[in-house]
Amino acid sequence: MDPLDYTIGFVGLGAMGSRIAARLLESGHQVYGTNRTRAKAETLVERGLVWRDTPREVTEAAEVIFSMVTDDAALEAINSGSDGILAGLAPGKVYVDMSTVSPHVSRELAERVWALGAEMLDAPVSGSLPAAEGGSLTIMVGGGEEPFTQVEPILQELGATVTRIGENGQALLLKLAVNISLAVQMLAFSEGVLLAERGGIDRALAVDVLTQSAVGSPMLKSRGPFVLAQPETPLFDVGLMSKDLDLAFETAGALDAPLPTATVARELFTDAGTMGYEHKDIAAIYDVLAKIGRE
């Protein structure tokens, strides 16, 4: 069968998941889906998504099943029990989890999937909501070559770059590495802007020059202006960044890998959450620094 003819299941239709599911619908796939809150999926249902009440029902209806949830606990919740994904898996099905979770938790889940005769890939993404809408995500994949080859054409509908990193869990390890860099870059940029502003330089001017300078990575070019005004919808919020930094430190501890700059970033993102910025874009770290500097 042509991979583009596979029926798709999608569990977890939040901010990112809903946009990825929409891309799959636009590509002509039959998509079955479910979410903890059905109201968030109504727009997708109107566009052709077939609602199912449980992850198991989604899995039973589809040949390739995707999931995208917030953390380890949520991943276990959608997989376990009589209504979970595992209960609906069977030989020949491929399960692709796009969540950013602990590599070791994902590997343990993969072993449970294999025991059922199915295959599992971890496929975390790098990119914000516009990238998900436009199909320009960077997708990192961990798992066997055969299931990767099977679903790669589908993943290419979702990402500008699709790369198999290695075996199960390896893609998640690299995703955590990416997010360490995002956190540290955002912090360093915010420090520079604050220094300039406190020295009498207009903040907007500092943002413009810094983002156009040698330090202006694609991430800072898109997110730098958020230190002037937060977006209505965060592209990546402080709470999720804190969660990912915690996962990075858990993983680094097992690998004896030092994370000196990430240590500082983790402390400040934790502070940001306690100061009420948990659901703000990570650019809010500028406001945290500004408040700390005045204390």
Distance of CA 279 to the CA centre of its chain: 15
Identify the active-site residue in 175, 221, 280, 291. Answer: 175
Interior CA angle at 75 toward 131 and 101, to 5°? 60
In DSSP terms, 177 is beta-bridged to none
Extended beta strands in 109-251, E state: 119-122, 125-126, 137-142, 159-166
Contacts 24+ apart (CB under 8 A), 254-257: 254/104
Contact 5, 27 (CB under 8 A): no
Name residue, tokens 């692709």. Answer: 96
Amino acid at 179: N
SS3 174: helix
Q: Which residues contact 246 (CB under 8 A, 6 or more apart)?
A: 266
Q: Which residues contact 78 (CB under 8 A, 6 or more apart)?
A: 11, 12, 55, 67, 69, 84, 85
Active site residue 291: no
Q: Which residues contact 243 (CB under 8 A, 6 or more apart)?
A: 70, 71, 100
By annotation, the residues acting in catalysis are 175
